[in-house]
Chains A and B, each alone.
Chain A
Amino acid sequence: DAGITQSPRHKVTETGTPVTLRCHQTENHRYMYWYRQDPGHGLRLIHYSYGVKDTDKGEVSDGYSVSRSKTEDFLLTLESATSSQTSVYFCAISEGPRAGYGYTFGSGTRLTVV
């Protein structure tokens, strides 16, 4: 299987608490992405990284921050979780920015904010 793992797989947290999701890869790919999947919205990009310490915002970045201090790890932090952030979060990796490189997705983290 592709070397990408997400942790935790499931999490329940309370409104207002900070939450960090981790994406770890063993492929040494430069590009990493965080998406959320919600019914009726498909896959929406939250943040992405094109190298260590190089990150940029996606279409739904409000309320989220990311960090990439080393190639293999890309962390997504919900600064103060809200019920609207209940979702399934997917991390993806890619060798290059162009679509031809393809994305490999992790298995997802199901986050419930109560």
Chain B
Amino acid sequence: DQQVKQNSPSLSVQEGRISILNCDYTNSMFDYFLWYKKYPAEGPTFLISISSIKDKNEDGRFTVFLNKSAKHLSLHIVPSQPGDSAVYFCAASAIDSGNTPLVFGKGTRLSVIA
């Protein structure tokens, strides 16, 4: 059973517009969430994170919103640029998870069209 779900396999956005990538989770014990970005032929790289004590975290053009009651988070990219075209993975970690690794979603491929 998937604990972290990214229900949109792909998303296409015009350059300059907003990109919104969504992520849902089922485990109410998750307390820390991350977004990773992956270009072809490279490993994923950390993009932005948010703790469950916050509902928003911003870093330049990237903002992550967390809605704990809905078990939903979203990544907003404004304005979108062609260089943002990549696969984005949502990941989560649980309180008192011991050595348990991050749980990743299946990813969303973002294409930003010039």
Contact = CB atoms under 8 A, between A and B. Distances in A.
Nearest to A91: B43
Given A99-B49, A107-B43, A43 B99 contact: no
B75 to A, nearest CB: 15
Nearest to A107: B43
Interface residues of B, number: 28
B42 interface: yes
A58 B99 CA distance: 12
A102 B46 contact: yes
Contact of B97 (A44, A90, A98, A108): A98
A99 B32 contact: yes
- By CB atoms of chain A within 10 A, which of B46, B51, B102 has the most? B102
Nearest to A88: B41
Interface in A79-114: 90, 92, 97-100, 102-108
A42 B104 contact: yes
B72 interface: no
A32 B48 CA distance: 21
B41 A48 contact: no
Interface in B82-114: 89, 91-93, 97-102, 104-107
A108 B41 CA distance: 7
B42 A107 contact: yes
A33 B103 CA distance: 12
- By CB atoms of chain A within 10 A, which of B33, B92, B100 has the most? B100
B105 A99 contact: no
Interface in B1-26: 6, 9
A56 B32 CA distance: 22
A99 B92 CA distance: 7
Contacts of A102: 34, 46, 49
Interface of B: 6, 9, 32-34, 36, 41-46, 49, 51, 89, 91-93, 97-102, 104-107
